[in-house]
Amino acid sequence: MTSLIKRGVSLYSFQNETFQGKMTLEDCIRTSAELGAKGIEVIGEQTFWGWPEYGVADADVDNWHRLIAKYDCVPVSHDFMLDYKRYKGRPMPFDEQVASVKKDVDFGARLGMKYIRALVSIAPEVLVAAAPYAEEKGIKILIEVHAPLHFDHPWIIRHAEAFEKSGSDALGFLPDMGMFVFAFPPVWTEKFLRLGVPKNIADYIVKAYEDRVLSEYVILDVQQMGGTGPAIAMAETLRHNAAFEPKRMLDYMPRIHNIHGKFYQMNEDYVEPSIPYDQIVKVLQQGGYQGYICSEYEGNRWIEDAEEPDSVEQVRRQQVMLARLLGESEDPTIKTSPTASAMAEAAE
């Protein structure tokens, strides 16, 4: 049986290529569509120059809608940032933060999105105050539950309580699967080895992670093993990452509307060695989730010092994995060169 869970891509995944102009927006959308990942998520200010400081040209928004229609895709989420540290030495006042979120609600609506993503550091009061406006515009504001935070963390519980108290269904959650790092990602280990971490210390950290040892103990042990600089940094990643429990999402299913399919590496056998997607998909199916899982490739920053990331191949492999886990009968494939539009523009 085919699952009700849908596949999508956050264009964040292609950042290494789009940064360098190797892929255009059309390349990103076409490639996702060919993979059957019809849900498109963007970080507004990555994809659209000008947002939010000087605005986005109508021509750029028209182009977005043209491409979404051309490739039969669905706009899913505009991920906004809300830079409350915009002013040096003083935080952005509350009312201005709310007004800023409303502007992102408008931008999300202009792009035809159902959701806008709020970063996890934004205060619940700000989102609650913006909720009535989001309701009017048919947009839900989803706070991204992202490691080191998780569904049992008091900060997230405060959000959940505020959302319930508000009575608004325009407020919800967007869990990032990077909360469920079950094994120390091999691309992290390799990066730290390149930075000079001694092999015995790296092996110790990987094993300690597997044994779920408290981060502070691991850091002290590494210090006592003679670890310095990058070895301490490797141990400190345990402060920000952990194998939290996917089942914790079940309590919040009615407010979970989008998923970041975070991954650090997809191997040739279509396995993410650090994040248990088989378990995650089971939990989401158990919870009756019917939204998108949007690929979010974040291995780029861990390998770029050694090799040029191949984001498209990484996303392809994750989409094959997801399609199989969701019970689809065919593996997704890419038919057109992922850089076709960029090449055509360059030739003009």
Partner 1 sequence: MMDNKMIVERSLQSVDGGFSFLGRLPYYRGLGLSMIEDIQVTVDGEVQPRESVRFSVRGKTYTLDEMETVYDDRWNFGEKATIIVLNGGLSAGTHTITFAVRNRVSYLPFVPTTKDTKELALAA
Contacting positions for partner 1 (CB under 8 A): 12, 15-16, 18-21, 43, 45-47, 49-50, 52-54, 81-88, 119-121, 300-301, 304-305
CB of 304 to partner 1, least distance (A): 7
CA distance 311 to 221: 36
Taking the complex as a whole, the smallest distance from the CB of residue 50 to partner 1 amounts, in Å, to 7
Residue 290: CB partners within 8 Å, gap ≥ 6?
Answer: 4, 5, 6
Q: Which is nearer to partner 1, 24 or 274 (CB)?
A: 24
Q: List C-alpha distances in Å: 99 to 20, 82, 129, 166, 250.
A: 33, 10, 9, 18, 32
What are the distances in angstroms from CA 120 to CA 5, 62, 89, 155, 309? 24, 30, 22, 9, 27
Instruction: Residue 77: name the closest of 50, 55, 52, 104 by CA.
Output: 104
In terms of CB distance, is 86 or 324 closer to partner 1? 86
Alpha-carbon radius of gyration of the chain: 20
Nearer to partner 1, 305 or 330 (CB): 305
Cα 40 to the center of its chain, rounded Å: 12
Q: In whole angstroms, how close is the CB of 18 to partner 1 at the nearest point?
A: 7
Q: Which is nearer to partner 1, 118 or 256 (CB)?
A: 118
Query: What's the min distance (Å) between Cβ of 48 and partner 1?
Result: 9
> What is the amino acid identity at position 339?
T
- Among candidate residues 98, 118, 97, 145, the one with its CA nearest the CA of residue 44: 118
Nearer to partner 1 by Cβ, of 177 and 201: the residue is: 177
Distances (CA, A) of 185 to 68, 205, 209, 249, 266: 34, 11, 10, 22, 11
Task: Identify which of residues 84 and 173 has a Cβ nearer to partner 1 in the complex.
Answer: 84
Please give the Cα distance from 157 to 164 (Å, whole number).
11
Nearest distance in Å: CB 111, partner 1? 16
Q: Work out how close the CB of 217 gets to partner 1 at its nearest, in angstroms, rounded to a whole number.
A: 21
CB of 49 to partner 1, least distance (A): 4
Q: Which is nearer to partner 1, 272 or 298 (CB)?
A: 298
